[in-house]
Amino acid sequence: MGKVRRRQRTNPASRNSVQHKKDSNDTTGGEGTLPSPATQRTTNLIGSLVQLGLIWAVGAVLLKIANSYMPSFTLMNKPNSTIPGVPIKQVAYDEMMKSPNTIVVNGISLPKELLSPMERYPNMYNITEEMRVLHFSPVVKFPNKWVEEEDENGTRKKRRKVPNYDVLDLTTAVGEAQLATEEERDVARKHGGRSRAEKKDKSFHVGRYDEKRTQMYSSGLFHSDSSETVIDGYSSQKQRTVHVGIDLDGPVGTKVHAFCDGIIHSAGYNPDLGDYGHVIVVEHTLPQSNNSVIWALYGHLDAKSTANKPKGKRVKRGQVLGRFGDIHENGGWKMPHVHFQLSSHPPDTHDMPGAVSIEDRPRALLDYPDPRLVLGPLY
């Protein structure tokens, strides 16, 4: 067996003496000395500030690079928007119309043919079907109807619900048939609206975007040789016939919903015959689109719709903004409806040109994008 060593017992007093000596060395400094807690916190704070500064600098560089490759978003948020490089007003209409199928202005393609399919119009906000489903609300909630469809084999029929509305062709509509007279408006104003018999139509309809309504716009708002009305740079001295919004028709009192979150840009009453009547403009911030801003006009509403709508008031997606007005409130239009129009720039006030001249059409298709980007493929 090996030797067994006995452990020498240490005097507790001597152990305390050694520990006291060690603690003294730690507090007096020297090699291997630990910093005080206050010093450590200061060092950590300085390090965090340096990291934040580096992150900010890298972010600023990346943002600058992104903006150089994403001109559409900067274009969308500038008042009086122009195609990059050339003001739209200075582009000759005859030159643009030489192309057989499309009008190309500084790389932006526009459909030469009116009433083109939805995909032919520019989508500078990159709005997708997913965005519409997840983040947008219908402006008008049409009633549904059941339809029967055959399966792929043509043997079995299945039923499903679809929105119940008709698409109108207003290319040959006559303005006198669409607008009430001033006398009719006065009577409706006196009695709080038209009679039930006059408002018996409960059907819903859609009026199309980029439709040339040659005979429909008969009031001086849309054409005047003697006096000029200018709305956001669009003059009435040119015959304004091309519709640049979408009409959603239905009974008086139909609810109108905000399609997305936003704030009130302006609200008011445009009283002239053929005008919007009570109208609201909302500044909407589009989700999942680089927080781009787009302006939407909701026109031909009733008087209650514009009450308590101060500038800057927040609205939520799906919120009821107002209701369809009757002839004494909506500008005199016999068919109750909301004129829904998008704009890539903020209007001067609660107004936009709902129709433009054929010469101004290329410019207008950029200033006032296809509302189906928001509403979906209604037709």
Reported as a single tens digit per residue, the pLDDT across 271-302 is 999 999 999 999 999 997 777 999 999 999 99
Note the pLDDT of residue 227: 67
* 3-class secondary structure, 242: strand
**How confident is the model at residue 95, as a pLDDT?**
59
Nearest-angstrom CA–CA distance, 169 and 152: 32
For 316-331, write each residue's pLDDT tens digit.
999 999 999 999 999 9
State yes or no: pLDDT of 50 exceeds 80. no
- Does residue 113 surpass a pLDDT of 80? yes
Q: Quick check: 263 pLDDT over 90?
A: yes
The residue with tokens 């990346």 is: 62
The three-state secondary structure class of 175 is helix
Residue 210 three-state SS: coil
* Beta-strand runs (E) in 113-188: 144-150, 157-163, 166-167
Question: CB neighbours of 234 closer than 8 A, spacing ≥ 6?
Answer: 240, 353, 356, 357, 360, 364
pTM: 0.74
DSSP 304: G
User: Distance between CA 141 and CA 279 in Å, rounded?
Assistant: 19
Read off the pLDDT band of 226 (50, 70, 90): low
> Which one-letter amino acid corresponds to residue 337?
H
Q: What percent of the chain has pLDDT over 70?
A: 77
pLDDT score of 148: 87
- Bridge partners (DSSP) listed for residue 166: 205
CA dist., res. 358 & res. 360, Å (int): 5
Which of 122, 102, 105, 104 has the alpha carbon at shortest distance from 113? 102
Q: Determine the pLDDT at residue 326.
A: 98
Across 112-257, where does the E strand assignment appear? 144-150, 157-163, 166-167, 205-207, 211-212, 230-231, 234-235, 242-243, 246-249, 255-257
> What architecture is the 92-375 domain classified under in CATH?
Distorted Sandwich (2.70)
Q: Looking at residue 5, what DSSP letter applies? A: P
pLDDT reported for residue 63: 55
Would you place residue 38 in the very low, low, confident or very high pLDDT band (cuts 50, 70, 90)? low
Q: How confident is the model at residue 46 (pLDDT cuts 50, 70, 90)?
A: confident
In the structure, what pLDDT confidence band is assigned to residue 366 with cuts at 50, 70 and 90? very high
Mean pLDDT over all residues of the chain? 82
Q: Indicate the pLDDT class of residue 182, thresholds 50, 70 and 90.
A: very high
- Encode pLDDT of 67-85 as tens digits: 443 333 223 333 333 333 3
Q: What confidence tier does 36 reach under pLDDT thresholds 50, 70, 90?
A: confident
- Name the pLDDT band for 93 (thresholds 50, 70, 90): low
- Find tokens 């859609």 and name the residue: 206
Q: Is the dihedral of CA 100, 103, 108, 110 positive or negative?
A: negative
pLDDT for residue 154:
73
Identity of the residue numbered 367? D
The predicted pLDDT at position 123 comes to 95
3-state secondary structure at position 278: strand
CA dist 298 and 258 (Å) reads 9
Predicted pLDDT at 129: 96
198 has pLDDT over 90: no
Q: What is the DSSP letter of 179?
A: B
Q: Which pLDDT band holds residue 149 (cuts at 50, 70, 90)?
A: confident
Q: What average pLDDT does range 238-266 have in this prediction?
A: 97
Mean pLDDT, rounded, for 174-178: 86
d(CA 356, CA 210): 10
pLDDT higher than 50, residue 190: yes
Alpha carbon distance 262, 342 (integer Å): 13
